[in-house]
Structure 1
Amino acid sequence: MREQFETTKLHKGNGKGFFFIGCDHDKPPAPTQNLLLAALPHSDYERLLPYLTGVPLMAGSTLHGAGNKENYLYFLVEGRVSRIHVLADGAQAEFAVTGREGVIGLPAILGGESMPSYAITSESGYAYRIESSRLKTMLEENGALVQLLLRYTQALMTQIAQNCVCNRHHTIEQQLCRWLLNSLDRTDTNDLGVTHEAIAALMGVRRESVTESMSYLKKRGVIQPSRGHVVVLDRQRLEASVCECYSVVKREYDRLLPEQFLKLS
């Protein structure tokens, strides 16, 4: 019941309050749109390719439930997935976000098989999944993939740690700016289809606090919020308003997964 409750808070079934409208994939994006897969040596990528299955991700869908065995790993090529931890009283907060730079399902290959948290699609998109048992077998003979996933895991740990400090010591406005920038980094548009309620649920704060911070950023010409959308008008001002946490995490991702390592042009 809790899983259904939490999903409902992020994705309303009546068509209102969606994070993003579902994506049409007549021609699915290539697996190499995922930066981890793109970083693999060609021979390693070719060995992995036959076991990858493309799956559309709809906003609000649950990839992994709390405590459930994570039978698949999802390499995102579009969209965004939030890792959300829920307390016994129903209180919740996002502690990590993943886009095309990463993968969902790491516990399956780290030995734990599950986590006491949810992985919920917070922006519709597309992913390529692989059975965790298959990937674990391939890791035994693929050093490049092992190193890649270890680097990514370290970057993810930095994100989680920094988010914890940020949520404890920085203002709601600064946290909101960080959240918006993280979302922008994982999409190709400055128009984020998200409600105040959904942002508040992910940040673990009151909706009124998010609305107040949105109003302040709007007055400064940084964003233009509307019903179910937030358009970022001035990214430079948004970056000037955020706390150090955004740049700390970004630098760590760049250090561990630099452009030359990811073979990005």
Structure 2
Amino acid sequence: MSSKHDPNQNHLLAALLDAEFDRLAPHLELIPMPLGDVLYESGGKLAHVYFPTTSIVSLHYLLENGGSSEIAGVGNEGVLGISVFMGGDSTPSRAVVQTGGFGYRLPIRVLMEEFNRAGPVMRLLLRYTQALITQMSQTAVCNRHHTVEQQLCRWLLLTLDRLPTNELTMTQELIANMLGVRREGVTEAAGRLQGYGFISYRRGHITVLNRMGLEGDVCECYAVVKKEFARLLSDTRNRQPARQ
């Protein structure tokens, strides 16, 4: 594994005990996750779970008429493919790369062998799943009750939390697809945020100039999600020493 790319860039992998990580490490495969890449389709059978490191993946729910909206995002804090250890081998959502980068994939068989030990790995993955469900629930509430401007602020802040930079590569059309709103609504909301001096937007690139401004404009949904992830996953930052 290259020193430039390290599985410990993913917070869940970094939180494993040495013995657990050592059992998984030989099976972790570094893969590129380019923008727009589909990791799995709705209803498809999963062969791997994915641990993003420098990429962010959007989970979309697809409607029969072809419409879709984001139900959650997964970055270096999490794992994609929770359905495999929650009792199923497929998922109703599509996983598409929102921010290009890298990640690691792990065969389901290997993960399930570790999960079925009913030890720290199982408890960690279940805590992460609870946090992810909170994000999904809050996204549904936000999309129903809050303005496009507030939704855009929430989305920008959650994306920033997973990146080492304040610059995002994302078109307004893609953001509209994520939020499940019309592109015109995103254009108006982004224009207002730019007018406030919170962001700069040009040619598919968004630069956040004033994060505190976004935090002051966002609805409560961002804080709810961030607080729940912090509560459940406060120990997912550094490798834990093996217990004696």
SS at match of 2:231: helix
Residue 100 of structure 2 aligns to a residue whose secondary structure is: strand
CA distances 1:150-199 after superposition (whole Å, capped 9, x unpaired)? 00000000000000000000000000000111111111111111100000
Letter in structure 2 aligned against 1:84: H
Deviates more, 1:132-141 or 1:203-212: 132-141
Higher relative contact order (CA 8 A, sep 6+): 2
Q: Is the contact between residue 71 and residue 108 of structure 1 (CA under 8 Å) also seen in structure 2? A: no
Over residues 80-131 of structure 1, what are the superposed CA-to-partner deviations in whole Å (9 max), with x where a residue is unaligned? 0000011011111000000000000111221111112100011111111111
Contact 1:44-1:142 at 8 Å conserved across structures: no
Name 1:252's counterpart in structure 2: 228
Using a 3 Å threshold, how does the CA distance of structure 1 residues 261 and 129 change in structure 2: closer, same or farther? closer
1:78 corresponds to 2:54: yes
Residue deviations 1:124-154 (CA, integer Å, cap 9, x gap):
1111111112211122225110010000000
Q: Which runs of 5+ in 2 are unaligned?
A: 240-244
Q: CA deviation at 1:262?
A: 3.4
Q: Which amino acid aligns with 1:86?
A: L
Alignment correspondent of 1:240: 216
**Is 1:88 paired with 2:64?**
yes
Which amino acid in 1 is paired with 2:16? L
TM-score by length of 1: 0.87
Amino acid paired to 1:181:
L
Counterpart Cα distance in 2 of 1:194 and 1:117: 21
The corresponding residue for 1:6 is: none
**1:196 counterpart residue number:** 172
The TM-score, its normalising length taken from structure 2, stands at: 0.95
Classify the secondary structure of the residue corresponding to 1:104.
Answer: coil
Residue 102 in structure 1 maps to residue 83 in structure 2? no
2:41 corresponds to which of 47, 50, 65: 65
* 1:52 Cα offset (Å): 0.8
Matched, 1:263 2:238: yes
Contact 2:29 2:105 in 1 (8 A): yes
Task: Specify the alignment match of 2:19 in structure 1.
Answer: 43
Contact 2:12 2:236 in 1 (8 A): no
Letter paired with 1:251: K
* Percent of residue pairs identical: 46
C-alpha RMSD of matched pairs (Å): 1.6
Aligned residue identity for 1:217? L
Residues 261 and 197 from structure 1, CA distance in 2 versus in 1: closer, same or farther, beyond 3 angstroms?
A: closer
Alpha-carbon shift at residue 241 of structure 1 (Å):
0.4
* AA of the residue aligned to 1:263: N
Where in structure 1 do 4 or more consecutive aligned residues deviate above 2 Å?
25-28, 260-264
Match of 1:8 in 2: none
Amino acid at match of 1:174: Q
Q: Deviations over 1:21-55 (max 9, x none)?
A: xxxx9754100110001001111111111111111
